[in-house]
Structure 1
Amino acid sequence: MSAGAVSGSNEAGTSQSQDTGRLRILQVSGSAAGGVRAHLADCARILASDGHDVIVEAPVSVLDGLDVAPARAEALEIGPRPSIGDTLAVARLRRLGRRAHAVHAHGLRAGALAALALGRRRRGRTRLVVTLHNLTVGGRLTSLVGEGLEGLIASRADLVLAVSPDLAERAKDLGAPRVELAVIPAPAAQPPSDASSPAPEAPEGAWPQDSARVLTVARLAPQKGLPLLLDAAAILSYEVDAGRLPAFAWALAGDGPGREKAAERITAEHLPVSLLGRRTDATGLMEAADVVVQTSLWEGQPLTIQEALRTGVAIVATDVGGTAVTARGGAVLVAPEARAIADALATLLTDPEARSRAQQNAREAAQKLPGHDDLAAQLRQAVLAQD
């Protein structure tokens, strides 16, 4: 665990009086990984660096190795599903919330528990800001629970920050008084690529020789549309066999619960897809790829697309959630359908001019990506507001 990450479960320091201009802010999260976890840390660091007393309340699994300094952190277990521990979490957030200027909760579970802890909107109540990071996906019961949590948040939050336009519209429809699109900073900029330079060498084990290089970087989970990816690969493989498309190899970097089933299908259908597993060289893979493909069924503001824009690679992505907002014209957007993905990919693999235009579009869009200064500006208005 990073130095200063967890200060323990006692509430030492929470009774300090607030200095003039120095506010106490709680950053609250339930289970989180990837971009959500990174965003939590960004918010905490930015506000603490402004001189405010920031306390991160999140599960140990989220805080482990998470650098939030100069903010403090305390373990608060909020699981992915309702449990008896929610009562304790609400009680703790109620105690801490009384002494805070604002509570900024991340996700439906943390947002709903904070809403229960702080009560209804009223003059003088601690300010509640909730960032919605994900669309509730699942069966009828899961959807009903998710809608209930969204409704609770909409009725009690002073401000809802949504990572995608569809989440923002849902919050407005449920009666949230104020909704904004959340700012999700792009990864650190890479040195600009030279379009006239030779293609980078492929990282070892990523693609075979003498084939076009297709890449997807994603967790192997239902939201990422793995069956769509394999369907598109099957369509393109047929085109190769018919002599209408050059040979290609599709590398999939990432791991997750869908790996075994995907591997079985790849083997059974002889698909030109290789499962690379978890990789730490995503940027290098993107730089060496001819096309990066996202086949997700839903996304907020995908960091993978931001990273691909930074490398200036041609991109095909499903037009879902906040992908269009993130891509800013730098990706070929298609419906989440296998044929649409395959057709767009085939065009980029066979038409050098189309691929060159897509690369240029990516480089231009990368210049428009938000940074940490943009997030800081939003946080100062959203979390520190005095209304």
Structure 2
Amino acid sequence: MSNTPVPPHGQPSLHAVQVLGEGSSGSGVHVRSLSAGLVARGLRVTVCGPWSAEQGYGFTEAGARFAPLDGRTDAGSIASIRTASVGAGLVHAHGLWPGLLAALALRGRGVPLVVTWHTKREAEGPRGRVVRLMERRVARAASVVLGVSSDLVDRARDRGARDARLASVAVPAPRPAPETGDGAHQKARAELGAVERALLLAVGRLDAATGHGPLLDAARRWRALDPPPLLAIAGEGPDRAVLQRRIDAEGLPVRLLGRRDDVPELLAVADVCVLSSRWEARSLLAQEALHAGVPLVATAVGGVPELVGDAAELVPYDDPDALADAVIRLLDDPGRCAELTAAGRARTVEWPTEDDTVAHVLSVYDELVQTFMSAGG
């Protein structure tokens, strides 16, 4: 494990500020895990983010100080970060918008900035140009950009990052589903509506980026199976009404479950997990499925192939026939399902642990702090 940055004798430990915005649960989970690891290694950590993040992830329970982000205006957010960063040795922002706010807050202060890109923003036309400008501003302002997948590292370099590195982000070990006998297992499936038929599980925000359109196209093919499998989709989002109208109009074997906090329990009773996203970095659902030993069919996008390797059936994005066929093959081939289950569990052993992730971040912090001290900052 990398050495923790050690301050000169008589000086306080390094104060690292983590900046978090609204949005991805993946970055919130990561910041919670990272904060706990940094505090355990003697750093002082402040998390600056929306109150909803503190309520959802409990950074103070991990030993960090929490500073609320005034998100009513950009100026208020910048002021919040500037105040939280007084006396900090380093600021670490998570995401493009938090990175931009942190860069503006630190302007002229000479404090090293690390920005982790957990995802990317897809936009076209004028909005796309604005996003590219934001990416260039953040990439060039950061001392180091950490991308959680290789394509994000390449994107940061293309935008002018002076130092962009791959940083695979570990998530906490999955919460195990409760042990259940056959009766409880069948009861759980019955509550979902999957009695004597296969259960397919998808999890994600109900919007265009998660690929639910092609997924429902695939479900049309599954109607012809006897019996047709049930596709259960956990998640909420702006496209819920549109998706439900289509499910009803076409008689699709699909059920929208809404927001759920029991994904391990859902995975425990699923036959196949489906990830149909347009793009993913390190998909939390893919990681949970492989940990749970559930066969996974996923789109070969972003960081998914390097995450899962040969432990999943990979299909192109926006190819409903390929997606439908991959699921049908698994439902007809228990042997292949067993192979994927074994490969998935073997793959999870290769992924970085939380300790590995904290050690890597500490090595980056140590390098930056030492460079800054050598430069007389």
Change (3 A) 1:29 1:280: closer
Distance in structure 2 (CA, Å) of the matches to 1:211 and 1:145: 48
1:228 corresponding residue in structure 2: 214
Greater per-residue helix proportion: 2
Distance in structure 2 (CA, Å) of the matches to 1:114 and 1:351: 51
Q: Are 1:75 and 2:68 counterparts?
A: yes
Deviation string, structure 1 residues 252-284 (Cα, Å, up to 9, x no partner): 122222211111111110111111222232112
Deviation string, structure 1 residues 186-211 (Cα, Å, up to 9, x no partner): 342467999xx999436242233121
Distance in structure 2 (CA, Å) of the matches to 1:61 and 1:343: 41
Distance in structure 2 (CA, Å) of the matches to 1:249 and 1:357: 23
Distance in structure 1 (CA, Å) of the matches to 2:346 and 2:184: 19
Distance in structure 1 (CA, Å) of the matches to 2:148 and 2:243: 29
Distance in structure 1 (CA, Å) of the matches to 2:171 and 2:85: 31
Distance in structure 2 (CA, Å) of the matches to 1:356 and 1:91: 54
In structure 2, the residue corresponding to 1:201 is in which secondary structure? helix
Change (3 A) 1:308 1:135: same
2:39 corresponding residue in structure 1: 48
How far did 1:26 drift? 0.9
Instruction: Choose which of 167, 174, 183 in structure 1 pairs with 2:152.
Output: 167
Distance in structure 1 (CA, Å) of the matches to 2:334 and 2:94: 43
2:344 corresponding residue in structure 1: 362
How far did 1:98 drift? 5.5
Distance in structure 2 (CA, Å) of the matches to 1:61 and 1:384: 31
Q: Are 1:90 and 2:78 counterparts?
A: yes
In structure 1, the residue corresponding to 2:366 is in which secondary structure? coil
1:58 corresponding residue in structure 2: 49
1:373 corresponding residue in structure 2: 355
Q: Are 1:334 and 2:315 counterparts?
A: yes
What is the identity, as a one-letter code, of the residue corresponding to 1:72? Answer: R
Map 1:172-183 to 2 at 5 A.
Answer: 172-183=157-168
Q: Are 1:39 and 2:30 counterparts?
A: yes
Q: Are 1:321 and 2:302 counterparts?
A: yes
Q: Are 1:184 and 2:166 counterparts?
A: no
Deviation string, structure 1 residues 138-175 (Cα, Å, up to 9, x no partner): 34232222111110111121111112222111101122
How far did 1:19 drift? 5.1
2:127 corresponding residue in structure 1: 142
Instruction: Choose which of 262, 278, 297 in structure 1 pairs with 2:259.
Output: 278
Change (3 A) 1:360 1:147: same
Deviation string, structure 1 residues 26-56 (Cα, Å, up to 9, x no partner): 1112213411211122222221222212111
Instruction: Choose which of 178, 196, 201 in structure 2 pairs with 1:215.
Output: 201
Q: Are 1:115 and 2:97 counterparts?
A: no
In structure 1, the residue corresponding to 2:186 is in which secondary structure? coil
How far did 1:218 drift? 1.6
Change (3 A) 1:94 1:281: closer
TM-score normalised by the chain length of structure 2: 0.87
Higher RCO (C-alpha under 8 Å, 6+ residues apart)? 2
2:237 corresponding residue in structure 1: 256
What is the identity, as a one-letter code, of the residue corresponding to 2:279? Answer: W
Instruction: Choose which of 156, 164, 167 in structure 1 pairs with 2:141.
Output: 156
Distance in structure 2 (CA, Å) of the matches to 1:77 and 1:371: 33
Q: Are 1:305 and 2:309 counterparts?
A: no
Change (3 A) 1:372 1:205: same
Distance in structure 2 (CA, Å) of the matches to 1:288 and 1:315: 14
Contact 2:230 2:253 in 1 (8 A): yes
Distance in structure 1 (CA, Å) of the matches to 2:314 and 2:327: 11
In structure 2, the residue corresponding to 1:343 is in which secondary structure? helix
2:330 corresponding residue in structure 1: 348
Q: Which runs of no fewer than 5 residues in structure 2 stay unpaired?
A: 1-7, 372-377
Distance in structure 1 (CA, Å) of the matches to 2:283 and 2:23: 15
Contact 1:223 1:297 in 2 (8 A): yes
Contact 1:328 1:368 in 2 (8 A): no
Contact 2:50 2:70 in 1 (8 A): yes
How far did 1:65 drift? 4.0
1:266 corresponding residue in structure 2: 247
Contact 2:177 2:264 in 1 (8 A): no
Distance in structure 1 (CA, Å) of the matches to 2:9 and 2:57: 26
Distance in structure 1 (CA, Å) of the matches to 2:83 and 2:270: 52
What is the identity, as a one-letter code, of the residue corresponding to 2:70? Answer: E
Percent identity reads 36
Distance in structure 1 (CA, Å) of the matches to 2:149 and 2:14: 29
Q: Which runs of no fewer than 5 residues in structure 1 stay unpaired?
A: 1-16, 80-84
Contact 1:306 1:369 in 2 (8 A): no
1:293 corresponding residue in structure 2: 274
Contact 1:98 1:126 in 2 (8 A): no
